[in-house]
Amino acid sequence: MKDLQSSLDRPALLSPLNFIDGEWQSALSGETFAVHNPATGEVIANVPDSQPVDARAATDAASRAFPGWREKLPKERAAILRKWYDAIVANGEDLARLISLEQGKPLAEGRGEVAYGASYVAWFAEEASRIYGDIIPQQQRGKRMTALKEPVGVVAAITPWNFPLAMIARKIAPALAAGCTVVAKPAEDTPLTALALLKLAQEAGVPAGVINIVTASREHAAPAVGDWLADERVRKISFTGSTAVGKYLARESAGTLKKLSMELGGNAPFIVFDDADIEAAVAGLMASKFRNGGQTCVCPNRVYVQSAIYDRFADVLSTRVAALKVAPATDEAAQIGPMINARAIDKIVRHVEDALAQGARALTGGKRLTDVGPNYFAPTVLADATADMLLFREETFGPVVPLFRFDTEADALKAANETPFGLAAYFYSQDVRRIDRVSRLLEAGIVGVNEGAISSEAAPFGGVKESGYGREGSRYGLDDYTTLKYVCQGGLA
């Protein structure tokens, strides 16, 4: 831990403790769990292994803080959010180092994540003052009807490991802007960045109890979060993670009928039509597929290429992929870092072995890189992928591009939509009519047209089908943290 702190410009940024009611504290049991560097497997810190009693203390604090926070003027909440944004930017280099250290992404991407996460805080600082309701045109004399947006209450935010800063920032910022208070649990693999983010929130003047965070090991996550699911004071769950866990949370919280936002898994198709600009399509695929080593929910998982250009596309792509530099984040030239843990590597190996056994051909990569470290996989292009393979049905979450061949637009659309998931979808074409048609017919919450980089704080991010519901970012993102109250005032005639 000392080593880790000394690698930061501001060692005090990191308190390896829960943050509850404005105090940094151990789990009541005193138990901790280890956080590892995925590049080496080394332990870098120990943080509290929280139990239901710690989660309950967080809810107590958030619920006490709620009346005071909701009564603040929107511009007062906005001013605090703005200070938090400034603090994140000012400490950006330390945050980027922490992200890269505990999550493994190259430092340049760590810096990108800081800017991306901070952009949500700046955005919602501005949106805080724009939570409008409606005055409903009068229907009866003597009555005034208004629709008001009110904060939903205490929000439980549960986040994954792949964006340790951005995922939690894009939940806490709208919650605070709307007047909600928060209890949060980051992923077991990446709690340190979230704790540093909370330190900066404290310094920015977020009052005690408004944001609370508890860390927990995978073993204790379900019981700790379970306390929030059953607690009627927690009025909303904002979850980002796998579809299986999202379904479990929806089921288990049904007893208290909470408002839910579910940002779940994807299985994004990426379609390249034969009228596409091939160079642009390869560049877009490289940008969206290999971000975070292929470990993002919007990474293309299935790449469909029209028969006439299949071989040429495969050639250009595999040359680019073979040139990617795989190295730990400490190497400034790294483009692909380690996968998050051994489970992640096992899944990638399973998918690639299954595909090869069923007739796929590895044009480049296809194997682990144990000489680089324990959790590395070679950037891979697999030709002749088919719908019988595991990587067609499941998110691979790694640096593997399977290339499927198709003949007609109808075939491509049918295959792209043949999945229970519907988060992102991409396609490349230069035909305006096709662009309009395919954008409408793809079953996805987000569509990239001749573009691989789609995320923005100003746009609604979220899925359809089993990729979940609710939206993060944009002006729509606040709706998830508010409820509508209808007020009917009579006797005005």
Enumerate residues 312-341 that contact ligand NAP by CB under 6 A: none
263 is catalytic: yes
Cβ at position 363, least distance to ligand NAP in Å: 25
Q: Choose the binding region for ligand NAP from 28-36, 61-69, 155-163, 317-325 (rule: CB under 6 A).
A: 155-163
Q: Does residue 264 belong to the site contacting ligand NAP (CB under 6 A)?
A: yes
Q: Does residue 363 belong to the site contacting ligand NAP (CB under 6 A)?
A: no
Cβ at position 255, least distance to ligand NAP in Å: 15
In the chain, how long is the greatest CA-to-CA distance? 82
Helix axes 74-90, 92-103, angle to 10 degrees: 70
CB-CB contact of 397 with 294 (8 Å): yes
Q: Does residue 104 belong to the site contacting ligand NAP (CB under 6 A)?
A: no
Q: Does residue 454 belong to the site contacting ligand NAP (CB under 6 A)?
A: no
The one catalytic residue among 113, 263, 395, 466? 263
CB-CB contact of 462 with 469 (8 Å): yes
Distance CA 108, CA 114 (A): 10
Q: Does residue 4 belong to the site contacting ligand NAP (CB under 6 A)?
A: no
Helix H segments across 296-375?
Answer: 310-322, 342-357
Helix H segments across 358-487?
Answer: 390-393, 409-417, 432-441
Q: Does residue 160 belong to the site contacting ligand NAP (CB under 6 A)?
A: yes
Cβ at position 174, least distance to ligand NAP in Å: 14
H helices, E strands: number in the chain: 15, 22
Closest by CA position to 59, among listed 172, 187, 179, 209: 209
From the CB of residue 440, how many other CB atoms can be counted at a distance below 10 Å?
A: 8
Site string for ligand NAP, 456-485 (x = CB under 6 A): -------x----------------------
Give every CB contact of residue 454 below 8 A, 6+ residues apart in sequence: 288, 298, 424, 426, 446, 448
> Among 32, 212, 238, 240, which residue interacts with ligand NAP (rule: CB under 6 A)?
240
> Among 423, 425, 442, 446, which residue interacts with ligand NAP (rule: CB under 6 A)?
423
Q: Does residue 58 belong to the site contacting ligand NAP (CB under 6 A)?
A: no
- Residue 32 CA to chain centroid, in angstroms? 25
Cβ at position 406, least distance to ligand NAP in Å: 24
> Among 265, 328, 379, 399, which residue interacts with ligand NAP (rule: CB under 6 A)?
265
One DSSP character per residue, 140-156 reads: STT-EEEEEEEE--EEE
Kindly tell me which of 22 and 223 has the beta carbon lying closer to ligand NAP. 223
Distance CA 415, CA 210 (A): 46
Distance CA 242, CA 309 (A): 34
Cβ at position 225, least distance to ligand NAP in Å: 4
Grouping H, G, I as helix, E, B as strand and the rest as coil, residue 364 is strand
> Among 28, 208, 222, 415, which residue interacts with ligand NAP (rule: CB under 6 A)?
222
- The site that binds ligand NAP (CB under 6 A) totals a number of residues, namely 27
> Among 75, 218, 325, 367, which residue interacts with ligand NAP (rule: CB under 6 A)?
218
Distance CA 95, CA 114 (A): 7
Q: Does residue 419 belong to the site contacting ligand NAP (CB under 6 A)?
A: no
Give every CB contact of residue 252 below 8 A, 6+ residues apart in sequence: 226, 229, 230
Cβ at position 246, least distance to ligand NAP in Å: 7
The residues assigned a catalytic role are 263
Q: Which residues bind ligand NAP (CB under 6 A)?
A: 158-162, 167, 185, 187-189, 218, 221-222, 225, 240-242, 245, 248, 263-266, 297, 395, 423, 463
